[in-house]
Structure 1
Amino acid sequence: MVQSARSRTALALYTTADGIQCHRTRLVLAAKGVSYDRVMVDPAKPPEDLLDLNPYGSTPTLVDRDLTLYNTAVVCEYLDERYPHPPLMPIDPLSRARLRLATVRIELDWLPEVDTIKAGGKPADAARKRLREHLLSALPLFKASRFFLNPEMSLTDCLVAPVVWRLPWLGVDLGREGKPILDYGERLFASQGYARSMTSEEKAMRP
């Protein structure tokens, strides 16, 4: 359910139209098959009700009845526990820790480059090169299993897939060497859940 203002349904997500962290959260919700109100936010003018709920006015912000959550990792892990089927994290602590660490590395290494590219100007070209290098250096992680470091889709895939989806839009060409990454992306993009997770702006990022 997509709405421009919050209604009276139990679950609502305040989200931007094209932010990777917001897309990540929407992909978790789609993978779980959860219905929710999608409240679109202009980052330049966050609505007053969001500022009342979240002192930082940041997105994504999740409202579940009387509970309000922000910080993407907190929101995504809550959703995985609140709606346990299908699970999006492995059972054993070692695998969970590896995926969490991989997520942190992506947030620290990949996402700043995406932001620099989106900002445009002279620094964007260098950021494209660095992002390409980050992705290609992670090739063994894409090759290790059907999904990113895991035989089943995980919360980490919900971050990786939106980055891979945006590569043509960002002007990042992985070439032949990056085929395992592109193949990984296509496996995820073909799912109905992935299609449900996107906004019209995100769909327009690829022809």
Structure 2
Amino acid sequence: MNPPSQTPRLYHTALSPFCRKVRLVLAEKRIEVELAEDRYWEGNSELLRRNPAGKVPVLRIDGRMLAESQAICEYLDETVPQPPLMPADAAGRHEVRRLCAWFDDKFYHEVTQPILEERVWKKIMRSGYPDSRAVKAGLKAVKDHLDYLAGLLEQRRWLAGSTLSLADFTAAAHLSCLDYISDVDWDRSEAVTGWYATIKSRPAFRSILADQVPGIHPAPHYAELDFG
């Protein structure tokens, strides 16, 4: 067990949307954290010791090892309540959790995972050549998801309602991974592009925009705040 006085440490990988989600929340709440990249696919990783599920992120904080991005983020929101990222009312919290699950489950399996697996992780892990059919399916699916977001933003200022929430950071974490390799059609929806530009301009996003993945160069517009 680590003493609570230690600086929090996040074991992460740069292009994991789940790790980025936690990084964004930590930064939004101004929690100082050490970033430790875990190349879990290599033989010297201690990920299983930190999290028996074998997944990043893992956050060492308050003398604990915390796993699962949604659970980590809600822990942070409860222990560091300002600024709040979950609504005060039950219906509002349900909507935030519903949208977080939408991105961490549906969007991830239909879009983030197939595109990143084929275009990024196969190259990094040297595990074969990209499957163009999987990439094509992911690029087709992302259009439907962007349309869904556009529909939400026609009725709301932020994805889950009138205030910034964990739902916005969860969505932005996934989209930022795809934007790194220029796989988001920002011309499809002015509302979605405007929403992303607003959240991308927050100080919490700075470390995300500074990411550099060895051998995978970011899109030219990736770190630009005015990219629409």
* The two structures share one fold, judged by TM-score above 0.5: yes
SS of the aligned residue for 2:22 comes to: helix
8 Å Cα contact 2:38-2:45 kept in structure 1:
no
Query: 1:103-124: per-residue Cα shift (whole Å, max 9, x none)?
Result: 1122222112211112132220
Q: Which residue of 2 aligns with 1:156?
A: 167
Q: 1:73 to 1:191 in 2, by over 3 A?
A: same
Q: Residue in 2 aligned with 1:26?
A: 23
Q: Could you say what the CA RMSD is over the residues aligned between the two structures, in angstroms?
A: 2.2
**1:132 match:** 143
Indicate if the aligned counterparts of 1:99 and 1:156 stay in contact, CA closer than 8 A. Answer: yes
> Do residues 184 (structure 1) and 195 (structure 2) align?
yes
The CA deviation at 1:48 is 4.7
- Indicate if the aligned counterparts of 1:12 and 1:36 stay in contact, CA closer than 8 A: yes
Equivalents in 2 of 1:46, 1:141: separation in Å? 44
Q: Does 1:89 align with 2:86?
A: yes
Partner of 2:100: 103
CA contact (8 A) 1:41 1:47 kept: no
Which position in structure 1 is the counterpart of 2:183?
Answer: 171
Whole-Å separation in 2 of the counterparts to 1:75 and 1:180: 29
Q: TM-score, normalised by structure 1?
A: 0.86
In the alignment, which residue of structure 1 is the partner of 2:76? 79
How many residue pairs get matched?
Answer: 199
SS of equivalent residue, structure 1 residue 135: helix
Q: Is there any run of 5+ residues in structure 1 with no aligned partner, and where? A: 1-7
TM-score (norm 2): 0.79
1:91-140 C-alpha deviation (Å, 9 max, x unpaired):
01001101111111222221122111121322201210111112212312
Counterpart of 1:204 in structure 2 is 218
Q: Whole-Å Cα distance in 2 between the matches of residues 61 and 171 of structure 1?
A: 27
CA offset at residue 65 of structure 1? 3.8
- Report the alpha carbon displacement of residue 197 of structure 1 after superposing the two structures with TM: 4.3
One-letter amino acid matched to 1:45: E
Residue 144 of structure 2 aligns to which amino acid in structure 1?
A: E
Letter in 2 for 1:38: L
2:125 is aligned to none
Per-residue CA deviation, residues 27-62 of structure 1 (Å, 9 max, x unaligned), is 000000000111111131275543322112310001
| Identity rate, percent | 24
User: Separation in 2 of the partners of 1:152 and 1:46?
Assistant: 43
What is the match of residue 5 of structure 1? Answer: none
The equivalent residue for 1:4 is none
